[in-house]
Structure formats: C-alpha cells, structure tokens
Amino acid sequence: MNFSSLIKNKLVRFILTSFFLFIFWFVLYDLWLHPQGGVDTFIINIIVHNSDWLLSLMGYATIPTDILGEAIRTVGIDGSHGVWIGDPCNGLTLFVLFSGFVLAYPGPILRKLWFIPLGILTIHILNVIRVTALAMIQHFYPEYLEFNHTYTFTILVYSYVFYLWYVWSNNLSNEED
C-alpha cells in the first residue's frame, strides 16, 4: 500500500485529522488561551449566570454571583457554600472534542455547520443543568457532592457527547442525503 492510497483510506484520514486537530488544540489552549484566561472566564461566567437563573427559577434564594467581583466562579443556594467552577469544568474541552470529531469524520460540510453549534449549545445546557444540580446537592446533601461531581455527572455528560458522535456518524454523516 503506497502513501497516496493510505491517505485516501477514510479511517486513516479520520485518525490523522483527529491527531492534528488535537495537537493544534493542545498548543493553542495550553500555550495561549489558558494562560490568557479570557475564554475560560467568559464561559464560566455564562455558566454561573445561567445556573443562578435556573436556581432562582426553581424558587431558591441564591448566593450573590458577584461576591468575588471579576472572578465570578461560584453559584449556589443561599445558606450553602455553593460550588466553585474550575477551568476544567466549563465544558470547553468537551466543545472541542465534540467539534473535532465531527470535523474529522466524513460528512457534508453544510450539516457540520449546523450540527456543531447545536451540539455545543446542548452540551452547554447540559453543563448548566449539571452545575445547578451540583449546587443543589451541595446545599441539601453535601456529603454526596464529590461522588456526583466525579462519577455521576462525568458519566452522564461524556455519554451525551458519545451519543452526539453516534448521531453524527450513523445518521448525519451520510453523503447521499
């Protein structure tokens, strides 16, 4: 098998594209975006405000979201410590993993142009629900916070991302539609 036929192989192209997208993301994020902090802070502030809104909608009095000034990273129910949202928990890595898979996997570009933003939006909504639920757990059952943060919600969120990949690869990537 020569190099040209190897590159034409869809699996090899998918693996190579995924690998180079991962390297690109790693360099971009670790060397520039994360040290700068703006993107992480922006996403976390949206999560905090959305989760605070959701808790308020459910009738809970919430802790002030501006208690830390510029470093808004905590959301919770009044009377608890709330939950602090770190950079790894903002969903950015999941946005990139999801998008990278769809970009690397064969399929019509027009479908990718609507499926990627829709997927990112639904992952973000799920993350807001996760943070809201964690804030409720912190208030009512703080002894279960660590387990649910580490296992329950990690499994749920990653399962959802795998589901989105499944939908893309089995239903939407078909070139013939």
User: Each residue of 56-115: pLDDT tens digit?
Assistant: 999 999 998 765 566 678 999 999 989 999 999 999 999 999 999 999 999 999 999 999
pLDDT at 9: 79
Kind plus residue range of the DSSP H or E element containing 5: helix 3-8
Identity of the amino acid at 76: G
**0.85 cut: is pTM over it?**
yes
**139 φ/ψ angles, rounded to the nearest 5 degrees:** -75, -45
Residue ranges of alpha helices (H) inside the chain are: 3-8, 10-28, 34-36, 38-57, 92-104, 109-140, 145-147, 153-167
Instruction: Work out the number of other CB atoms within 10 angstroms of the CB of residue 165.
Output: 16
Share of the chain above pLDDT 70, in %: 92
The helix/strand/coil state of 119 is helix
